[in-house]
Amino acid sequence: MGSPIYRSSTTAPVNIAVIKYWGKRDPTLNLPTNSSLSVTLSQSDLRTHTTASASPSYPSEKGDTLLLNGSPQDVTGARTQACFRELRALRATLESKDSSLPKLSTFPLRIVSENNFPTAAGLASSAAGFAALVRAIADLYELPASPTELSRIARQGSGSACRSLFGGYVGWEQGSATDGSDSVAFEVAPASHWPTMRAVILVVSAAKKDVSSTSGMQTTVATSSLFSARANETVPRRMQEMQRAIKEKDFEAFGKVTMVDSNSFHATCLDTWPPIFYLNDVSRAAIKVVEAINKRAGKIVAAYTFDAGPNAVIYYEAENEKEVAGLFKGVLGDKDGWQGERGSAVQENKEAEASAREEVGGAIELLKEGVSRVILTGVGEGPVKTEESLIDGEGNVVKA
C-alpha cells in the first residue's frame, strides 16, 4: 500500500472592484495605499477550480508544484512562497498541539488549478487564482481560519485576491499596521442582500497589456502629483458613500461612485510618468454607450468600470436587463458569449439600440469592431468546497 494522498478542492470567484486598488505602501506584503471595494462575481460564469494535495510520497526534490490550465507554473516567486509559508506555519502550529495529526506541513504540495474562462480575456484571474489556492490549502490543512484570516494571507499572493475570499459585496481595509495584520477583507453585505446585481463584461480585443499592474501602480505612487489626493481624500470618502449605497441598495449612488472611481483611477494612470493608458477608443465607446443608456432611462441604470486593461465591466440591476444587456445584445449579438443560460435569457433590445445610435452612432460602430466577446454574470458567492478533485487518489492529475 502506498503513502496516503491528502486532497482538498475548492472553487473561488473573480471580483471586480467598484472602488479601485491602485498603489502599495508596502510592495512585499501588498499593503495598499487606499481601501477598496468590490463585487464578487458568480462562479457559474467565472471561477478558478483548485485542488491542493500533499503527500509524503511526493518527491521532495521536486518541491511544491502548481499546474494551471495544464501548464506548470513557477512557484518560487516571493508571493506564492509567502502564501505557502504562512499556511504551513498555521498547520505546523496545529500539528505541534496534536501529535496525532499527519505532518502535512512537512510534505510537498501538489496543486492543480483550472479557470473556466479564457485567460487571454485579460480578466483579473490572479484574484480568483490566489483565493482558490489559499482556500484549498487551508482546507487541506484543516485550518480553523476564518475568511478574514485567509484574506490576510491571500493578499500577499495578489492584493485583490483578498477580496475573493468573500461573496457578495466586499471591502478591503487598507489598515495601518506595518506587518499588515489589519489589512484584510471584510463583508459589506452578502450576495443575498442585493442579489439582483448583474454585470455584462465587454472583452475588448487588444494587444497585450502595456504595463503590468504591479509595476504600473508603483510608478503612479512615485510620480503622479494627483495620486495622493485620490488615496488620502477621495477614496476614503467614496468608501463611505459606497457602503451606504450597498446597504440601501441605492443603484444610482452605487453606479455613480463606481464610474467616477474608475475614471479617477485611470486619471492617476494618465498622470503617471511615463503615462499609463489602459483605456482605448473602444473603452471610451463603451463609456459613451453607457451614458446614452442612462440618458434614455433618465437615471443611472448602468455603471461602467475598467480595471488595468481596456475591458468594460458594466453593472446593472436585473430589472433593467432589457435596457442594458438587451442593448448590447442588439449591438453585439453576433459575438461569442450569448449562448449560455444568462445570455439566451436576455431580450435583444433593438429600440434601445436605435436610440443609442442616434446619440452615439460612432461609439456603437466602434464597439462592433472592437469587442471580441461578452460575458454575462452577476453577484455571487465566495469560495465553495467541492468534491470534484483535479488530482486523483494516486496523486495524478485528472485529465479533463
Contact residues for its own copies, defined by CB under 8 A: 207, 225-226, 228-230, 233-234, 256, 259-260, 263-264, 266-268, 270-275, 277, 280-281, 284, 287, 291, 362
**If you search the block for the grid coordinates 506584503, which residue do you land on?**
29
Closest distance of CB 260 from its own copies, Å: 6
Return the number of the residue (110 or 230) whose C-beta is nearest its own copies: 230
Distance (Å, rounded) from C-alpha 193 to C-alpha 161? 22
Q: What CA–CA distances, in Å, run from 28 to 86, 310, 399?
A: 14, 27, 36
Question: Is residue 103 helix, strand or coil?
Answer: coil
Question: Is residue 318 helix, strand or coil?
Answer: helix
Closest distance of CB 174 from its own copies, Å: 18
φ, ψ of residue 81 to 5 degrees: the values are -60, -40
Closest distance of CB 226 from its own copies, Å: 4
Reported as type and span, the H/E element at residue 78 is: helix 78-97
Distance (Å, rounded) from C-alpha 20 to C-alpha 172? 10
Return the number of the residue (228 or 389) whose C-beta is nearest its own copies: 228
**If you search the block for the grid coordinates 496516503, which residue do you land on?**
4
The phi-psi region of residue 37 (left if phi > 0; otherwise alpha if psi is between -120 and 50; otherwise beta) is beta
Return the number of the residue (189 or 270) whose C-beta is nearest its own copies: 270
Beta bridge partners of 15: 40
Closest distance of CB 45 from its own copies, Å: 28
C-alpha cell at position 38? 468590490
How many residues make up the chain in this entry? 400
Return the number of the residue (290 or 352) whose C-beta is nearest its own copies: 290
First to last CA, the chain: 27
Return the number of the residue (210 or 319) whose C-beta is nearest its own copies: 210
Is-cis flag, bond preceding 275, omega within 30? no
Closest distance of CB 222 from its own copies, Å: 13
Distance (Å, rounded) from C-alpha 167 to C-alpha 147? 10
Closest distance of CB 288 from its own copies, Å: 9
Closest distance of CB 316 from its own copies, Å: 18
Closest distance of CB 355 from its own copies, Å: 18
Q: Cβ neighbours of residue 286 under 8 Å, at least 6 residues apart?
A: 202, 204, 304, 312, 314, 363, 367
Distance (Å, rounded) from C-alpha 215 to C-alpha 53? 32
Return the number of the residue (127 or 290) whose C-beta is nearest its own copies: 290
Dihedral sign, Cα of residue 92, residue 103, residue 107, residue 130: negative
What count of Cα atoms within 13 Å lies in the side-chain half-sphere of residue 278? Answer: 24
Return the number of the residue (79 or 266) whose C-beta is nearest its own copies: 266
Q: Cβ neighbours of residue 74 under 8 Å, at least 6 residues apart?
A: 80
Closest distance of CB 295 from its own copies, Å: 10
Return the number of the residue (319 or 369) whose C-beta is nearest its own copies: 369
Return the number of the residue (130 or 304) whose C-beta is nearest its own copies: 304
Return the number of the residue (107 or 306) whose C-beta is nearest its own copies: 306
Q: Cβ neighbours of residue 358 under 8 Å, at least 6 residues apart?
A: none
Closest distance of CB 121 from its own copies, Å: 20
What count of Cα atoms within 13 Å lies in the side-chain half-sphere of residue 135? Answer: 29
